[in-house]
Amino acid sequence: QKEVEQNSGPLSVPEGAIASLNCTYSDRGSQSFFWYRQYSGKSPELIMFIYSNGDKEDGRFTAQLNKASQYVSLLIRDSQPSDSATYLCATGDNAGNMLTFGGGTRLMVKP
């Protein structure tokens, strides 16, 4: 049974701070890793993906992957109240056919 674990939160950060969201996964065969953002009552949307060990930056977002530790994280710099949402971590299988989602971390950015 593949598992993806996230702290449910809420994680509360002040506006302008760095938010750090973490995720661990059980399947060592996972090849791809994704962060989806889900606003309350809405559907998930992809914000970052990462395939290789190290960091990947896109604007205010940085995804970090450590396959040896089976750990992936998302950093959000200069957090804004509009970043308040639930962030879902997901891992992809070898074939790229299926995703396994974590339970999500609720982020609250306070003005």
Partner 1 sequence: NAGVTQTPKFRILKIGQSMTLQCTQDMNHNYMYWYRQDPGMGLKLIYYSVGAGITDKGEVPNGYNVSRSTTEDFPLRLELAAPSQTSVYFCACQTSGGARGEQYFGPGTRLTVT
**Residues in the site for partner 1, rule: CB under 8 A?**
4, 6, 8, 32, 34, 42-46, 49, 88, 90, 92, 96-104
Query: Tokens 């953002």 map to which residue?
Result: 37
Q: Tell me the closest approach of the beta carbon of residue 59 to partner 1, in angstroms.
A: 17
Q: Which is nearer to partner 1, 75 or 93 (CB)?
A: 93
87 CB-near residues (< 8 Å, 6+ apart): 6, 21, 35, 36, 37, 38, 74, 104, 105, 107
Q: Tell me the closest approach of the beta carbon of residue 43 to partner 1, in angstroms.
A: 4
CA-based max dimension of the chain: 43
Q: Tell me the closest approach of the beta carbon of residue 110 to partner 1, in angstroms.
A: 21
